[in-house]
């Protein structure tokens, strides 16, 4: 059965997960991917790449903080592919340039913009995704839908020396609580909800940290399994697992792909 994935990203972890899903699907189980992100050029380029890999891909560019965008994206996905098997909420920001930081320094703008971009956007996409999944018939493996939400290792293992950003941590912690509440609510309807909580991954969003020599040295100790930033492919493989039937008995869980961060 063809599976349809809606991913709110066109770069970084979301893009690499889309590639992984298409590459792993094989000709007998083709994959359809619908992308939703702010940058239209990135959406277009990734969609073309996924098609070249053998998948079907469409996209809608726009601002996820616009309350009207989430319903429009889900409608567009249904118009293109007639079903939504899995939603991967990836989009988010670092609010440091808006004033996020330690609680005594965090600005009103830093707090509100970070929560809006990281948490509220996921809430809206989850709301629209679940509304649709509840109406659609179960797939061949009995699932009605899968949701994977992006959090961060900072929600469960704070690191004040280099990564003290209270709004970012709060938004990612709230995503975990929201996801577990959803998992409990919808398990009987055969909708699974899980969370991925990466450490420091080599992405465009982590460029500031990845170029800081002090942080680079610190990561050799903090993420000892890779002695640096985590490769995109390592996180994407875990995301693909949680989005597919391979994890059909897993819900309400937080998978920390952190190269040892949380135990170092």
Contact 179, 122 (CB under 8 A): no
Distance of CA 50 to the CA centre of its chain: 18
What is the average per-residue pLDDT within 80-89?
97
Both tokens assigned to 23: 């590459």
User: Does the structure show a pLDDT above 90 at 117?
Assistant: yes
pTM (predicted TM-score): 0.96
Flag whether pLDDT at 28 surpasses 80: no
Q: Which domains does the chain have, with CATH numbers?
A: 3-202+231-263 (3.40.50.720)
Q: In this structure, what DSSP letter does residue 138 have? A: P
**CB within 8 Å of 52: residues ≥ 6 apart:** none
Residue 82: what are its φ and ψ, rounded to 5°?
70, 5
| Dist CA 42 CA 46 (whole Å) | 6
Percent of the chain with pLDDT over 90: 91
State pLDDT tens for residues 192-233. 999 999 999 988 777 777 778 899 899 999 999 999 999 999
Distance CA 101, CA 168 (A): 8
Residue 231: the pLDDT is 94
Question: HEC states along 166-180?
Answer: HHHHHHHHHHHHHHH
Q: Is 122 helix (H, G, I), strand (E, B) or coil?
A: helix
**Residue 185 binned pLDDT confidence (cut-offs 50, 70, 90):** very high
User: What does the alpha-carbon distance between residue 163 and residue 101 come to, in Å, rounded to a whole number?
Assistant: 8
Cβ(141)–Cβ(245) under 8 Å? yes
């Amino acid at each position: 059965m063809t599976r349809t994935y809606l991913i709110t990203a066109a770069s970084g972890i979301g893009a690499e997960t889309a590639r992984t899903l298409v590459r792993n699907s094989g000709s007998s189980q083709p994959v359809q991917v619908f992308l939703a992100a702010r940058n239209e050029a990135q959406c277009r380029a990734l969609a073309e790449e996924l098609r070249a890999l053998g998948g079907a891909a469409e996209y809608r560019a726009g601002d996820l903080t616009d309350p009207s965008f989430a319903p429009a994206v889900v409608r567009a996905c249904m118009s293109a592919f007639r079903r939504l098997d899995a939603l991967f909420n990836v989009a988010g920001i670092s609010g440091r340039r808006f004033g996020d930081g330690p609680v005594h320094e965090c600005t009103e703008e830093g707090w509100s913009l970070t929560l809006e971009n990281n948490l509220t956007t996921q809430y809206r996409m989850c709301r629209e995704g679940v509304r649709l999944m509840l109406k659609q018939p179960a797939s061949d493996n009995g699932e009605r839908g899968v949701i994977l939400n992006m959090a961060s290792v900072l929600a469960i293992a704070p690191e004040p020396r280099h990564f003290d950003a209270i709004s970012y941590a709060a938004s990612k912690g709230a995503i975990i609580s929201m996801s577990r509440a959803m998992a409990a609510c919808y398990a009987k309807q055969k909708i699974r909800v899980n969370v991925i909580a990466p450490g420091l991954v080599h992405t465009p969003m982590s460029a500031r940290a990845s170029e800081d020599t002090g942080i680079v040295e610190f990561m050799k100790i903090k993420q000892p399994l890779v002695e640096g930033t985590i490769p995109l492919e390592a996180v994407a493989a875990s995301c693909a697992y949680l989005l597919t039937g391979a994890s059909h008995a897993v819900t309400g869980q937080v998978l920390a792909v952190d190269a040892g961060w949380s135990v170092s």
